């Protein structure tokens, strides 16, 4: 982690208050590095930035089509969502259609980020459910694949057919043998790889075209679903949703816990992987936005881009007390 370079600066007045460093890699469709900051060989856990890889077997196997999943369902399978009504309602209906319920999800319950939904639960003394967990779409996808494969059992076990398929996809797309895994916030395994490996996998998604075989078709469908329906990938007020809208639905991006972030640029056939080494999401959002500007797909003057690029820091009284901006290394 020692080779990380400064990426995001936090200013309060004219004082540099805090600073975030990281690693980032941009790969082309041949898997070659076209830009790199820090150490492209740093091994990290991509966390939720790997959700489109975790959802690949769902589509590739035919399970998604057998279950009649829409583009919105595919976006939700790749989501770290807010637990807003559109997310909760779709997960509940999807589970029911497959003959499952909240209790079949292996992710734990998580208070929804959506404040209106949170407050309604508190007012009604309703319990926080697993459906509200930001990963419930991914888990419903796992359940759908498990049922399609006739597998049963704990779909988060490493030797379960669902997780075997996820690991195979991860290693084939990163062109690496994963050096290990961690257990994610939702209890699913999450596979380590180099930043370079993840950027390579994202370049595959970026270059994938429907009709070019089963894998490319599945990858292209997931990427398109994310970019077309960004409200299902995260939700209102979130960087993934705001930035995909700001780029006119032409690029797919996905955040991950501990400040991972990836992007898939279909027109340029480029993949991006980024990790802020201290795990701060404010910085991964800022740094990814700066890289998207550099790659020519995000207009730095767009009001939604400004929220992340040159982000005002406000205090409890609404006064602007500082600003977050990308370090000169990224410009």
Q: What is the dihedral of CA 87, 90, 92, 94, to 10 degrees?
A: -140
**Residue 154 in the binding site for a second copy (CB under 8 A):** no
Assess 17 for contact with a second copy (CB under 8 A): yes
Helix (H, G, I), strand (E, B) or coil at 19: strand
Stretch that binds a second copy, among 18-26, 159-167, 197-205, 220-228 (CB under 8 A): 18-26
Does residue number 5 form part of the binding site for a second copy (CB under 8 A)?
no
Kindly give the pairing relationship between strand 193-194 and strand 43-44.
Answer: antiparallel
Q: How many residues bind a second copy (CB under 8 A)?
A: 49
Q: Is 164 exposed, middle or buried (0-12, 13-18, 19+ CB in 10 A)?
A: middle
| Cβ distance to a second copy smaller for residue 184 or 285 | 184
Q: What is the DSSP secondary-structure string of 79-112?
A: ------HHHHHHHHHHHHHTT--GGG--SPP---
The residue among 115, 138, 118 whose CA lies nearest residue 127 is 118
- Find the binding residues for a second copy in span 287-316 (CB under 8 A): 315-316
Q: Element (H or E) spanning 23, and its range?
A: strand 15-28
Task: Name which position in 101, 108, 213, 312 contacts a second copy (CB under 8 A).
Answer: 108
Distance of closest approach, residue 326 Cβ to a second copy, in angstroms:
15
Tell the smallest beta-carbon distance from residue 295 to a second copy (Å): 25
220 contacts a second copy (rule: CB under 8 A): no
Is 227 buried (19+), middle (13-18) or exposed (0-12) by CB count in 10 A? buried
Which residues, other chains included, contact 168 with Cβ-Cβ below 8 Å and sequence gap of 6+? none
Residue among 129 and 218 whose Cβ is closer to a second copy: 129
User: Nearest 5 degrees, angle CA 105-CA 81-CA 98?
Assistant: 35
Burial of 317 (0-12, 13-18, 19+ CB in 10 A): exposed
- Nearer CB in complex with a second copy: 129/225: 129
Among 33, 279, 310, 329, binds a second copy (CB under 8 A): 279
d(CA 12, CA 199): 34
Residue 227 near residue 244 (C-beta atoms within 8 A)? yes
User: For residues 142 and 154, is the Cβ–Cβ distance under 8 A?
Assistant: no
Span from 137-145, 215-223, 238-246, 278-286 in contact with a second copy (CB under 8 A): 278-286
Q: How far is the CB of 67 from a second copy (least distance, A)?
A: 25
Q: Is 158 in the site for a second copy (CB under 8 A)?
A: no
Task: Provide the minimum distance between the beta carbon of 44 and a second copy in the complex, in angstroms, as a whole number.
Answer: 7
Residue 291 near residue 305, CB atoms below 8 Å: no
Residue the block writes with tokens 């909760």: 88
Strands (E), 206-258: 252-256
Q: Which stretch binds a second copy (CB under 8 A): 83-91, 105-113, 214-222, 231-239?
A: 105-113
Q: Which of 284, 252, 255, 254 is nearest to 267 (CA)?
A: 252
Closest distance to a second copy from the beta carbon of 21 (Å) = 8
122 sits near a second copy (criterion: CB under 8 A): yes
160-179 binders of a second copy (CB under 8 A): 179
- 273 near a second copy, judged by CB under 8 A: no
Residue closer to a second copy (CB basis): 21 or 268: 21
Q: Is 119 in the site for a second copy (CB under 8 A)?
A: yes
State in angstroms the smallest separation of the CB of 73 from a second copy. 22
Is 15 a binder of a second copy (CB under 8 A)? yes
Minimum CB–partner distance for residue 224 and a second copy (Å): 30
Contact residues for a second copy, defined by CB under 8 A: 1, 10, 12-21, 43-45, 106-110, 119, 122-123, 133, 179-187, 190, 192, 258-259, 277-280, 283, 315-319, 321-322
């Amino acid at each position: 982690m020692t080779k990380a370079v400064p990426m995001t600066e936090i200013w309060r007045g004219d004082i540099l208050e805090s600073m975030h460093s990281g690693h980032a890699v941009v790969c082309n469709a041949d898997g070659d590095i076209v830009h790199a900051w820090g150490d492209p060989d740093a091994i990290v856990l991509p966390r939720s930035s790997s959700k489109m890889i975790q959802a690949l077997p769902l589509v590739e196997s035919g399970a998604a089509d057998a279950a009649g999943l829409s583009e919105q369902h595919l976006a939700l399978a790749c989501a770290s969502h807010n637990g807003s009504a559109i997310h909760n309602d779709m997960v509940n209906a999807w589970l029911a259609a497959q003959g499952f319920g909240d209790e079949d999800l292996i992710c734990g319950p998580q208070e929804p980020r959506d404040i209106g939904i949170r407050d309604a639960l508190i007012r009604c003394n309703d319990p926080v459910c697993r459906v509200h967990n930001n990963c419930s779409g991914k888990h419903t996808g796992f359940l759908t694949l498990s049922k399609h494969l006739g597998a049963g059992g704990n779909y988060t076990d490493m030797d379960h057919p669902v997780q075997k398929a996820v690991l195979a996809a991860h290693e084939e797309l990163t062109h690496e043998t994963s050096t290990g895994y961690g257990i994610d916030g939702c209890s699913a395994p999450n596979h380590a790889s180099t930043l370079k490996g993840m950027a390579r996998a994202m370049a595959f998604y970026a270059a994938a075209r429907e009709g070019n075989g089963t894998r490319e078709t599945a990858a292209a469908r997931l990427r398109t679903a994310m970019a077309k329906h960004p409200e299902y990938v995260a939700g209102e007020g979130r960087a993934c949703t705001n930035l995909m809208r700001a780029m006119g639905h032409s690029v797919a991006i996905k955040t991950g816990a501990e400040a991972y972030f990836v992007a898939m640029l279909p027109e340029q056939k480029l993949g991006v992987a980024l990790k802020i080494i201290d795990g701060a999401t404010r910085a991964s959002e800022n740094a990814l936005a700066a890289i998207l500007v550099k790659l020519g797909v995000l207009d730095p003057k767009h009001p939604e881009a400004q929220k992340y690029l040159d982000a005002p820091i406000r205090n409890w009284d609404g006064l602007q007390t500082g600003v977050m901006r990308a370090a000169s290394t990224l410009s």
